[in-house]
Structure 1
């Protein structure tokens, strides 16, 4: 919505500028026509070009109110200005006519409208100026200077005043206003972005706190039961909650609240799981090979939960008791702009015949469900000792809500 408003404001600024220039040039043209006839004694071609341009351009400006097509209005006035200015220039001295500067104003107006129109009218005006020059130096000239000798200086003065005022008083003034409005809008947008980022950080902080509260409740429930199976279930659920809370904590701590640096997250998560399941002094070695990869929250959380389940299963069922063991986690980008995760351990492993479909293990089912949530695939690597998974996935594109 903010972007749409910015585009609308820009279009409105351009429309106001074009209409203001149209009204100004139309009125000036009509006045110029009267001055040419009654004050400068110019009665051939020039005053009638001014008169025709003034009337037709007023009509063109009025018609804009009905069709509301700014480009059409601009192109009509540009073509009329081009034809009129070229004719007046030819009949008022050719390349030496002060009215030739009006041609430059068409180029300025073109670039205000669009870069493409500016380039078109720039090249067209350069060609016309060259043609005017060639006509001026030719042995045979099909037009003559119709401005009387005694009126040349006054005609030149009025032409220069018209060009300078249009360039500075109309184009310059309005462009400066548009420039200030643009930066004012930009400053307002930047302020809103900072405000939203601050609020979003606060949301991540509160979500993290709430998840930690849930983790504490699960821990209290686990302490209040003597059943080892139930206690283990509570502990597994607690670890899953902690793995999600860590994502929100890292987003809260970073300046970039859209993505997290994934290596440090996996390192912290794996170390926490080892402490949680094996204790502070264990024989577990971590081998984490993750480059400088940043993932958004929609990918980071399900992938974190998948890693949580795989590492938890390795620590509980693969590397039993206090035996030495190693956990491997490797993440790489593949050739299709996706990711390849290799995760496993050198523990006991389990039978090839056991799958998430015929197993009662919640962790095993979660691993496969989370791989599907990542819109990827998962398979076991049976060539290595222990349990190893190969997960292929792509980063889930964030759904950014529109800002009202």
Structure 2
């Protein structure tokens, strides 16, 4: 798998994991609110039915992800519906006086755990919602939370807010530490690869064999080692981009040789000997070993001293 694709998949897997954890945590939180409101505080209000509908829709949303596999849709539904339900809950439980308003602060935190753009967008949205709630204070309906239940209601919501913040902080920190460890591991691997590449480059440059990379379809030389200058006298720029047969003695640069090279299959090794022409006009016999891979021929040649 290509490196870029691997990194993308790794990030996507983390996003899926965080979204699922947050989604089920939200269902659990509002499930607690629903149970407490209905069975402990004995509240009978349309908001309770709205909360129940939200719970069912949220569970369906999380389960439907397994069918459509579009995590961004699942995430958007979770955060939008959660924001709306918290806003409605705050409206019917005292507006800015309601402890439910503090749950709105968890929305930008959750959004920032996905991306900076989402975090900024939801921070602005929450800020505007709070300002609008303040301006509409005189229009707020009477709180559905009875005065004798206000303390317990505030206590429960405070615990839920703390729990959500702790969970989100843990997920963000875990992701950050995981990313840091991965970057550190990749950095070390890159350093090792750089050292190996430097060693291979030194080996190629100081080898006594001609080495070159040739395009298989047209036999143009793409790259080569400095030994061409040592044995044949050519500057690298004089060879790069030229046809390979231009440097082979004309009597030996037969169509059969070109055909054989162009017809090589991947990983097929082909050996041949030919007389190479130096820049000075001198002729030297070299024995070539070529192997094809993905439309490229990797070839090396050793001077025939026999």
Matched, 1:200 2:176: no
* Partner residue of 2:168 out of 158, 166, 171: 171
Offset at residue 27 of structure 1 (A): 2.2
Q: 1:195 to 1:134 in 2, by over 3 A?
A: same
Q: 1:239 to 1:129 in 2, by over 3 A?
A: closer
Report the Cα distance in structure 1 between the residues aligned to 2:117 and 2:161, rounded to whole angstroms: 23
Larger radius of gyration, structure 1 or 2?
A: 1
Q: 1:238 to 1:63 in 2, by over 3 A?
A: closer
Q: What's the counterpart of residue 188 of structure 1?
A: 185
Q: What's the counterpart of residue 155 of structure 1?
A: 153
Task: Mark the runs of 5 or more structure 2 residues left unpaired by the alignment.
Answer: 211-225, 241-276, 282-306
* TM-score where L is the length of structure 2: 0.68
The 8 Å contact of residues 92 and 140 in structure 2, kept in 1 or not, is answered as no
Report the Cα distance in structure 2 between the residues aligned to 1:65 and 1:159, rounded to whole angstroms: 31
Q: 1:304 to 1:171 in 2, by over 3 A?
A: farther
Alignment of 1:70-89 (within 5 A): 70-89=71-90
Report the Cα distance in structure 2 between the residues aligned to 1:243 and 1:157, rounded to whole angstroms: 87
Q: What's the counterpart of residue 274 of structure 2?
A: none
The 8 Å contact of residues 110 and 118 in structure 1, kept in 2 or not, is answered as yes
SS of 1:41's equivalent?
coil
1:154-186: CA deviations, max 9, x gaps?
111111111111111x21111121112111111
* TM-score where L is the length of structure 1: 0.52
Alignment of 1:340-351 (within 5 A): none
Q: What's the counterpart of residue 58 of structure 1?
A: 59
Report the Cα distance in structure 2 between the residues aligned to 1:57 and 1:100, rounded to whole angstroms: 21
Q: What's the counterpart of residue 207 of structure 2?
A: 210
Matched, 1:240 2:229: yes
SS of 1:210's equivalent?
coil
Task: Tell me the number of residue pairs that the alignment of Structure 1 and Structure 2 aligns.
Answer: 230
SS of 1:145's equivalent?
coil
Offset at residue 148 of structure 1 (A): 0.4
The 8 Å contact of residues 240 and 305 in structure 1, kept in 2 or not, is answered as no
Q: 1:16 to 1:238 in 2, by over 3 A?
A: closer
Report the Cα distance in structure 2 between the residues aligned to 1:142 and 1:179, rounded to whole angstroms: 42
Offset at residue 190 of structure 1 (A): 1.0
Task: Mark the runs of 5 or more structure 1 residues left unpaired by the alignment.
Answer: 215-236, 245-300, 307-360, 366-404
The 8 Å contact of residues 60 and 73 in structure 1, kept in 2 or not, is answered as yes
Report the Cα distance in structure 2 between the residues aligned to 1:145 and 1:239, rounded to whole angstroms: 88
Q: What's the counterpart of residue 300 of structure 2?
A: none
Q: What's the counterpart of residue 95 of structure 1?
A: 96
1:273-293: CA deviations, max 9, x gaps?
xxxxxxxxxxxxxxxxxxxxx
Report the Cα distance in structure 1 between the residues aligned to 2:65 and 2:120, rounded to whole angstroms: 24
Report the Cα distance in structure 2 between the residues aligned to 1:87 and 1:161, rounded to whole angstroms: 20
Report the Cα distance in structure 2 between the residues aligned to 1:364 and 1:132, rounded to whole angstroms: 89
Offset at residue 10 of structure 1 (A): 1.3
The 8 Å contact of residues 243 and 305 in structure 1, kept in 2 or not, is answered as no
